[in-house]
Amino acid sequence: MKKTVLGELEELVLLVVAASTEDVYGVPVMEELQRQTGRSFTISAVHTTLYRLEEKGFLASSVGGATTERGGRRKRLFALTAAGGRALQEVQQMRQQLWQAIPEEKLQLLGIR
């Protein structure tokens, strides 16, 4: 089976969407990314990533209802798909394997443990 390759922002966006208790749109995803990482993200970068993940089949989207605070425009809401969940699981397993491959002495020398 072909391994899933995710860029850093793709992985972070998938994790934020997966952690959400309901479908989310771009702004809350961006805000959570900024809160969790302490880094700044543009809404266009987040939207591009959301759409790319949808094209890959890792997210699904639907159009929500219009709201007055958005001038009557509707939001595109995103949810994690089963394929997205599997992709996150593959990435997590790969990272765990890589961490486990580091000798304990080296981790101690680096002050990680």
Measured distance CA(60)–CA(30) in Å, rounded: 18
25 lies in a domain?
Answer: yes
SS3 label, residue 38 = coil
1 lies in a domain?
Answer: no
Q: Which residues sit opposite 79 in a β-bridge? A: 60
68 lies in a domain?
Answer: yes
What size, in residues, is the chain? 113
Q: What CATH number did the domain enclosing 72 receive?
A: 1.10.10.10
The type of residue at 52 is R
Domain range for residue 89?
Answer: 8-109
81 lies in a domain?
Answer: yes
pLDDT band for 46, please (50, 70, 90 cuts). very high
pTM above 0.75, yes or no: yes
Specify the number of domains making up the chain.
1
SS3 label, residue 37 = helix
The 3-state DSSP composition of the chain as helix, strand, coil percent (nearest 5) reads 60, 15, 30
Tens of pLDDT, residues 47-68? 999 999 999 999 999 998 766 6
Query: To the nearest 10°, the Cα dihedral for 60, 53, 28, 12?
Result: 130
pLDDT above 90 as % of the chain: 77
Q: Is the pLDDT of residue 113 over 90?
A: no
Q: Which residue has the tokens 């995710």?
A: 6
According to the model, what pLDDT value does residue 93 have? Answer: 94
